């Protein structure tokens, strides 16, 4: 089992790309692929796939879809201060853990 990491990116987080071809783009996380340490971000890193017609998809041709990005190439954008940030953990009074923005200390969400 992998070592316990700093709180990761989660589905529905807004992230910004900090490296590579898509640098500067923002989007919402649609899927997290923990085993591969990758995320799929809405409208970011689009690739064209050549799709053959199948039973399910009668219309073949070229379809565009998001390709996974490595988590090290994206940063979470804080919903409060609207800046890319690293995310920390804060233990709340009731013992639950919350993810916090390391810039403005606001709670990103609760777990």
Binding residues (CB under 5 A) for Zn ion: these are: 78, 80-81, 101, 103-104
State the nearest-atom distance from the C-beta of 78 to Zn ion, in Å.
Answer: 3
Rounded to the nearest 5 degrees, what angle is found at the Cα of 70, between the Cα atoms of 65 and 73?
Answer: 105
**Tokens encoding 19:** 């490296």
Nearer to Zn ion, 36 or 86 (CB): 86
Residues 63-93: b if buried by 16+ CB within 10 A, e if exposed: eeebebbebebbbbbbeeeeebbebeeeeee
Nearer to Zn ion, 8 or 37 (CB): 8
Nearer to Zn ion, 26 or 80 (CB): 80
Nearer to Zn ion, 68 or 88 (CB): 88
State the nearest-atom distance from the C-beta of 101 to Zn ion, in Å.
Answer: 3
State the nearest-atom distance from the C-beta of 100 to Zn ion, in Å.
Answer: 8
| d(C-alpha 24, C-alpha 45), whole Å | 12
State the nearest-atom distance from the C-beta of 15 to Zn ion, in Å.
Answer: 14
Q: Please, are residues 99 and 107 in contact by the beta-carbon 8 Å criterion?
A: yes
């Amino acid at each position: 089992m992998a070592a316990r990491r700093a709180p990761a990116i989660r589905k529905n987080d807004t992230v910004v790309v900090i490296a590579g071809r898509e640098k500067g783009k923002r989007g919402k996380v649609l899927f997290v692929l923990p085993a591969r340490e990758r995320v799929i971000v809405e409208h970011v890193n689009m690739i064209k796939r050549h799709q053959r017609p199948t039973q399910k998809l009668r219309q073949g041709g070229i379809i565009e879809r998001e390709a996974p990005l490595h988590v090290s190439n994206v940063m979470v954008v804080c919903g409060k201060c609207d800046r890319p940030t690293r995310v920390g953990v804060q233990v709340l009074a009731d013992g639950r853990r919350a993810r916090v923005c390391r810039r403005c200390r606001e709670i990103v969400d609760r777990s």
